[in-house]
Chains A and B, each alone.
Chain A
């Protein structure tokens, strides 16, 4: 379980995250969606959880089951690259891929890191069978096989988004934080992107925390819903909240759509 405890983050006068306490993955493999109007602190929360920012207050804690007992690890000050090892992986709202590498090389670079092979001096095509196996699986799962040898910067936006997410999956995450995986993706392809993510995370029992603006997607795919508003947790619970909570509808629809 990944837990945020009383997280607070200020940028000058702006309190982007204000006393946020949340837990993800109490049911392993659950799919949580974070929604909220622009400026609600969604991305800041993900940045705090994954270590891009340090919180001003509060802590980030990972609970791990070991031989039947739960071990608690405070990862608040931990560097992002070390959090990856703790199973905490993210994707980005603005695509971050290695632009001059092909799709395959992008996924492979992430997979090499997963197997702690980035310091290896053995030539790439020599004895990294488990890595190549993973890469092939992921390319198939994200339907990127046909464009595996295309250079990332030449791809259309939707494919770049998928690649960004596929790289996150290559790291064998336990908690996957996806910052608007469907932003900028054509409406008819959004479902396809989310569907792919759901399939992949179900297969590996990955707890996913997804920031999403499309309420239809949220209704269809969320196990649980977190609504942020002005840096605070405004609502938390079943996705049905969206249907029958007038105040919530006001917050979400009044500003955002």
Chain B
């Protein structure tokens, strides 16, 4: 039998089975995808103009994507839904802003380090309180902590209320690697530093989820009671993963502040941002490692682009979410294996395409029939 990629035969049934990050070695296809991804990331500032995208905007998407990768540690492994991840993104962003505006720290990397420490500390504190909860209680608690932080910052003179803080030291933007840069140079250096750190963080996350610790988190997500009874200290491990998850958000927020040079509560700390981060993970595919990153880029791009296409562009987020949940519950990256498998299947068996067409035709016929029936009922009162 010729082997079809992504498809396993079991008990006479063919099963699509390619968890992208389970298994420790990369398949050739995955390796190629990883390489392409890295090339795309490094080339972004050069070719994005060619296809009419602003790379700074995509950069912003990448940053939210990093936060979503962090959130996904909880979502995918411990199976906890956090509605409050903007708390860490915002802590990171405000960490940079406060250190720059109030304490005159002028080196960008130092600011970033401070931001990560501050955001992680916030995650440790919130994690301590939420680690014992599950399901809706966990979601609501994280949401509540997030909202408290937002309201505090919004009302506090130290954070300059709604206007936010400038990431400027006496009017100057921070230095990077001890040097002053032009605007473009600054953004490029920041971008490439971020990409290198991002790759390190992705590798770290990949190591984590494929380690015994990652398996323990899976165990907690799948059966908390049993996890406890095989000796896993559940609350402590959830706390640790929550903290790591927050660290990713804090890093992303810190870079965001360095990029925007102005931090306001609404785009960084508001609970809607938490919702967006969660949405990015689902959009990109929360069953995968890199899905949330892709989700972040796609969503930010969609929102930016849609501004010019559609009047009700905010409704677009909702529509996309509905479409994803109904038609692609595994998200963009999560669906790749089944799409790949379907294509491979059809290459091996062209008859399937005919069946597809027949299936679609039948579905359309049924829809038309239903519509006719409905119209008939409306017009004549009977069928």
Contacts and interface: CB of A to CB of B under 8 A. Distances in A.
Interface stretch (A99-107, A214-222, A244-252): A99-107
A117 B219 contact: no
Contacts of B212: 112, 117-122, 124, 128
A97 interface: yes
Interface string B197-224: 0000000000110111101101100110
B232 interface: yes
A89 B226 CA distance: 11
A171 B230 contact: yes
A114 B230 CA distance: 8
Which among B24, B229, B233, B237 has the highest number of chain A CB atoms within 10 Å? Answer: B229
Nearest to B208: A121
B211 A98 contact: no
Nearest to A113: B231
A105 B211 CA distance: 12
A182 B158 CA distance: 65
Interface residues of B, number: 23
Given A123-B211, A124-B212, A113 B218 contact: no
A113 B230 contact: yes
Contact of B213 (A120, A125, A171): A120
B84 to A, nearest CB: 26
A88 B326 CA distance: 46
B218 A81 contact: no
B274 to A, nearest CB: 26
A124 B24 contact: yes
B228 interface: yes
Contacts of A122: 211-212
B232 A123 contact: no
Interface string A151-182: 00000000000000001001100000000000
Nearest to A112: B212
B211 A121 contact: yes
Given A100-B222, A123-B207, A108 B215 contact: yes
B14 interface: no
A143 B208 CA distance: 31
A195 B223 CA distance: 27
A205 B246 CA distance: 46
Interface string A46-84: 000010100000000000000000000000000111101
A84 B230 contact: yes
A109 B219 contact: yes
A160 to B, nearest CB: 12
A127 to B, nearest CB: 11
B71 interface: no
B100 interface: no
B229 A96 contact: yes
Q: Which of A80, A97, A114, A120 has the most CB of B within 10 A?
A: A80
Contact of A96 (B207, B215, B223): B223
A8 interface: no
A125 B216 CA distance: 15
Given A80-B228, A80-B229, A112 B24 contact: no
Interface in B232-248: 232-234, 237
Contacts of B229: 50, 52, 80-81, 84, 89-90, 92, 96
A85 interface: yes
A171 B227 CA distance: 12
Given A81-B228, A90-B229, A125-B24, A118 B223 contact: no
A110 interface: yes
B76 to A, nearest CB: 11
Contacts of B223: 96-99
A122 B231 CA distance: 19
Given A81-B231, A105-B215, A118-B237, A124 B226 contact: no
A120 B228 CA distance: 17
Contact of A81 (B208, B211, B213, B233): B233
A118 B214 CA distance: 8
Interface string B52-78: 000000000000000000000000000
A52 to B, nearest CB: 8
Contacts of A50: 229
Contacts of B213: 118-121
B53 to A, nearest CB: 36
A164 to B, nearest CB: 8
B48 interface: no
Contacts of A118: 212-213, 215-216, 231-232, 237
A80 B232 CA distance: 9
A218 B363 CA distance: 59
Nearest to B216: A118
Q: Which of A96, A97, A117 has the most CB atoms of chain B within a 10 A radius of its CB?
A: A96
Nearest to B233: A81
Contacts of A112: 212, 215-216
11 contacts: A52-B225, A81-B228, A85-B231, A96-B223, A96-B229, A98-B226, A99-B223, A113-B232, A118-B213, A120-B212, A124-B211
Interface of A: 50, 52, 79-82, 84-85, 89-90, 92, 96-101, 105, 108-110, 112-114, 117-125, 128, 167, 170-171
Given A85-B231, A100-B222, A112-B216, 5 more contacts: A81-B229, A84-B229, A109-B219, A121-B208, A123-B211
